[in-house]
Amino acid sequence: MDFREGVGTDNYFRAKYGPQPIVSGLLSEKQLLKWAIITTFIGLVIGGYLVIVLIALGFLIITLYSGGPFH
């Protein structure tokens, strides 16, 4: 939003010490939105996978530590 409102221009202090994707012309607003959606989706997939693996590992450890669920 700063870019649209005129705050995030090329003389903005953040643009001076690091490249800002839209200000420096690396990405358009549409490309940046796509990039944000794709990377968020990838993060959610990886996080979901890790949660499933950790739940399975925890169940396995608890089951084996207690000697199994059956006598």
Write out pLDDT tens, residues 5-47: 666 555 566 666 667 777 778 888 899 999 999 999 999 999 9
CA separation for the pair 41, 34 (Å, rounded) = 11
Residues 4, 9, 15: CA angle, nearest 5 degrees:
125
What integer pLDDT is reported at residue 11 of this predicted model?
59
Higher pLDDT, residue 71 or 27: 27
> pLDDT for 1-11, tens place per residue?
555 666 655 55
Comparing 3 with 61, the larger pLDDT belongs to 61
Q: What is the pTM of this model?
A: 0.64
How far lies 13's CA from each of 3, 7, 36, in Å?
Answer: 13, 10, 23
